[in-house]
Amino acid sequence: MATERTFSILKPDATERNLTGAINAVIEEAGLRIVAQRRIRMSDAQAKKFYEVHAERPFYGELVSFMTSGPVVVQVLEGENAVAKYRGVMGATNPAQADEGTIRKRFAKSVGENSVHGSDSAENAAIEIKQFFDDKDIVG
């Protein structure tokens, strides 16, 4: 498996509790390199677009309002098999079902306020990275 990139978000429940450094330590210890990172406040339009695949789900409104409720840290992670590796490091969507040692098991508050996002495919990673970063701002 070649080196690839994935897109990550440290969500508002994480920034609110000053967990950026603790979560980044887990990411780096897993062998993923943070090659771009920016702290932003997501606009309503950005959050709606980002999660548009979930537009018909009952939790969509709650999800968009959560993602715009405070600062987030958007990141590009690079490494061997980065998409699948980061999904493993994150753990299951619902922290109650996440494996020991994963970010969501350690830090997430609930299925909604679950601390991190990670792309679910290399194709979606490329689309998500483009939504938040210019190529020149990614330093591999």
Binding site for ligand ATP (CB under 6 A): 54, 59, 62-63, 93, 111-112, 114, 117-118, 120
Q: 59: annotated binding-site residue?
A: yes
To the query of whether residue 54 is one of the catalytic residues in this protein, the response is: no
Q: 39: annotated binding-site residue?
A: no
Contact 42, 72 (CB under 8 A): yes
Which amino acid is located at 105 in the chain?
A: K
Options 117, 118, 119, 128, the catalytic residue:
117
Q: 85: annotated binding-site residue?
A: no
Closest distance of CB 59 from ligand ATP, Å: 4
Diameter over CA atoms, the chain: 39
Q: 41: annotated binding-site residue?
A: no
CB-nearer residue toward ligand ATP: 33 or 109: 109
Q: 99-106 long-range contacts, Cβ below 8 Å, gap at least 24?
A: 103/23, 103/26, 106/26
SS3 5: strand
Closest distance of CB 67 from ligand ATP, Å: 8
Backbone φ and ψ for 80, nearest 5 degrees, come out as -60, 125
CA distance 126 to 132: 10
The tokens for 51 are 């999660």
CB-nearer residue toward ligand ATP: 21 or 58: 58
Closest distance of CB 31 from ligand ATP, Å: 19
Annotated binding site: 11, 59, 87, 93, 104, 114
Residues forming the active site: 117
Annotated binding site for ATP: 11, 59, 87, 93, 104, 114
